[in-house]
Amino acid sequence: MVEQYLSNVHQVAEQHGSVPLLVCLCGSRAFGYAAPHSDYDIRFVYAYPLSRYFTLTPPPQELRFKDADVVGYELGKFLAMCAGNGWNAHEILHSPVLYERAGVVAELRALAASVFSPPEIVAALLSGVKTYQRRMAHIDGADSDATDKRVKWALGCLHHVMAACYVAVHGVAYPIPIAELASAVLPHILPQVETLVGWRAGHLTLSSESLAQTVATVQQAADSLGDSLLQAELTPAVAANTTPLEAFYLKVAQQLNK
């Protein structure tokens, strides 16, 4: 499956006259709480030769696949996401790498770290928590997938809150796997996290009551941690120096032009 996605990414990028720099696996399969039926969330970063920008038709800054959760970001847009402290850009850089061009991941990680703004990342992650909470509040009990959605979104909510806490405390990008995050941020909740991960993966069988109790415990932990983060005082964000990112952008385009 992954090999097919990689092949498709290279094919689509080539059709647009671009070159993939990085392809990674995101979503629940990267976070470590996928179900057997979970989609493969693929994200990639691509670039164009310098000459492609000197045309009357601007090249696409985003490429999407119709029937799959595969999204590509043009290098300039991706660097702008990093500078704008979009948590998803930093998450992409620290997710499992499926393909990279000539050590580009290390360069991108260093550039992203140079403009990393903990206050803005924390705020963005906590905003994502609200999205998960809204989803959980509107789950249709008659939906055959209601229980799986409740577990998935409870874990997603916890993942975002713990990531925000990790950034607030350490000031750097957070680990992607939920078990690793829990070990670092909320070790006392790790057994419940592992239980829900095992249930989603189909490795554990739980009674409805036991599953509901475990989900409730995880939700309570997420809510408590989220409330404490909202009350915390973080160092104000400072303007990022984007000159190194712009230099890298030009360098890549020039290299591809040869």
Query: What average pLDDT score do residues 212-234 get?
Result: 89
Q: 47 exposed, middle or buried (CB, 10 Å; 0-12, 13-18, 19+)?
A: buried
Residues of the chain with CATH 3.30.460: 2-115+238-256
Residue range 2-115+238-256, CATH number: 3.30.460
Residue range 118-231, CATH number: 1.20.120
Q: How high is the mean pLDDT of the chain?
A: 91
pTM: 0.90
| pLDDT over threshold 70, residue 236 | no
Residues of the chain with CATH 1.20.120: 118-231
Question: 111: how many CB neighbours lie within 10 A of its CB?
Answer: 20
* Closest alpha carbon to 82 in 68, 92, 72, 71: 92
| pLDDT over threshold 90, residue 237 | no
Q: How confident is the model at residue 21 (pLDDT cuts 50, 70, 90)?
A: very high
What pLDDT score does 163 carry? Answer: 95
41 touches 27 (CB < 8 A): yes
